[in-house]
Amino acid sequence: MKDLFDLTGKIALVTGASRGIGESIARLLASRGAHVIVSSRKVDACQAVADSIVADGGKASAFPCHVGEMEQIAAIFEHIKSEFGQIDILVNNAAANPYYGHILDTDLAAFEKTVDVNIRGYFFMSTAAGKMMREQGGGVILNTASVNGVVAGDKQGIYSITKAAVISMTKSFAKECGPLNIRVNALLPGLTDTKFASALTNNDKVLNMALKAIPLGRVADPDEMAGTVLYLVSDASSYTTGATIIVDGGMLA
């Protein structure tokens, strides 16, 4: 019987992959046979993850990209075209959340940084990958959104707004790219133990309130997000597109 989770021969780009959920995704995809391009803003951090994957017997390389910078998006896809000639999987995971506070006090710099990375970055990463996928006959795009895109997080206004946009973006790309054999889905993580979420997990009062709302009664480990991503980028989900899968320990249940 065919292994539906086999990614042998696939080229996968994972952004925000130097730590946290992105790193877990990169490691799992590599363990299933994909060559993973580990990407984030800092090349040294990317290279460390790529080297570790290779040391474990996987295939990986590193290429830095700040998805909030259009020229860097162009550069990474030029690299992929010249080095690999294909891209089968794009995981848009890099995100920005520079402001934690009342929505009325959101300043322009925080607004622009969050929008540039979480909306513009995801959009143009997806169009660049999608054009390559269109030429080669198909591919898969996975967006990391958030449960905050469904129920806005307190003191996380602009971040929640952008993640709601990612959910809408996922559906729009799925609808228009389905006829091109390009599937587009989204992962919606709940509270996860990452540096990115440290403003919440390191605040005992906020953390205790959050845990009361989570039926499983705990924060997720980043590795617990990667399995859903593997499903969505593999042949196991070959008839799934436009889906938004919530992985939140039951919080929104």
Q: What is the pLDDT of residues 110-163, one digit of tens each?
A: 999 999 999 999 999 999 999 999 999 999 999 999 999 999 999 999 999 999
pLDDT at 200 over 90: no
Whole-number Å distance between alpha carbons of 235 and 218: 31
What is the average pLDDT across 214-235? 96
The token duo for 57 is: 């017997």
pLDDT at 209 over 90: no
> What stretches of the chain adopt beta strand conformation (E)?
11-15, 35-39, 59-62, 89-92, 139-144, 182-189, 244-247
pLDDT at 206 over 90: no
Whole-number Å distance between alpha carbons of 122 and 16: 12
156 DSSP assignment: B
**pLDDT tens by residue, 37-63:** 999 999 999 999 999 999 999 999 999
Dihedral of the CA atoms 56, 93, 229, 141 (nearest 10)?
A: -110
Task: Look up residue 41 and give its amino acid.
Answer: R
- Indicate which residues carry an active-site annotation: 159
